[in-house]
Structure 1
Amino acid sequence: MNERIRILRKELKLSQEEFGKRVGVSNTAISKLEKGERSLTEQMILSICREFRVNYFWLTEGHGDIFTGTPQTVVDELAEDYNLDDIDKKVIEKYLALDTEKRAVIKEYLKSIFT
């Protein structure tokens, strides 16, 4: 993974400092990661994948393309961020398509279930 961090950073044309700022660490931390002097935490891996739209399996195992596709809609982006399947996405899309009154009915029903 350490070498793939360097490959990714070079692909993005970012300095260690710029890359680090984007994921919330110092350039020293990025340097140590690239040299293999520091291991990547799961939190750092997820942060890198989210920030740069990197394929998790490429970063962790070297399989697949470096980057994931760009989401076409906000719902697609939510699906990526929260690991939603097609049914989850359809529920959100249908809910968003409802008018205010129909949403209110659904919310009242859900409140009755949760209380």
Structure 2
Amino acid sequence: MNERIKELRKNLKLTQQEFADALNIKRGAVANYEIGRNEPIDAVISLICKTFNVNEEWLRSGAGDMFLELPEEDEEAAYVSELLEDSDNDLYKLIKEIMHTYHELSPKSKEVIRDFSAKLRENIKKGS
């Protein structure tokens, strides 16, 4: 399991400290898991799986895919949640302003934007 924990962390592009912080554990615990000195208890394994959407079977045995497949709406919610965690970033501010501006539009203007978006999606699909 130690190699899979390290592989997961590297796949997520996290340092040991960032990984530990996400789980609210100490960096030394992560280091000990990765070198095989200690094995995480079931509660930590569950926390890793829940926090990072990891397939528990993969984490424990290496069988299956590293990550669980999310339904589309859960995946979108995860993106929004990740974005909202850092309200100081410019992308967050831009998206917030887009939503605010959209909300201020007249119903007819909103309809035009929705039609434009649908046509844009169509054209992108055609190009793929």
Does the pair score TM above 0.5? Answer: yes
Distance in 1 of aligned mates of 2:25 and 2:71: 26
* Matching residue of 1:82: none
SS at match of 2:38: coil
Alignment of 1:1-115 (within 5 A): 1-73=1-73
Unaligned runs of at least 5 residues, structure 2 = 78-128
Distance in 2 of aligned mates of 1:13 and 1:20: 13
SS at match of 1:67: coil
Identical pairs, percent: 40
Residue 70 of structure 1 deviates from its aligned partner by 1.6
RMSD after superposition: 1.5
1:58-95 C-alpha deviation (Å, 9 max, x unpaired): 00010000000123346xx9xxxxxxxxxxxxxxxxxx
TM-score normalised per structure 2: 0.56
Residue 39 of structure 1 deviates from its aligned partner by 1.2
* Matching residue of 1:104: none
Q: What is the aligned residue count?
A: 75
Residue 22 of structure 1 deviates from its aligned partner by 0.6
Residue 44 of structure 1 deviates from its aligned partner by 0.5
Distance in 2 of aligned mates of 1:8 and 1:73: 24
SS at match of 1:68: coil
TM-score normalised per structure 1: 0.62
Kindly provide the amino acid, as one letter, of the partner of residue 6 in structure 1: K
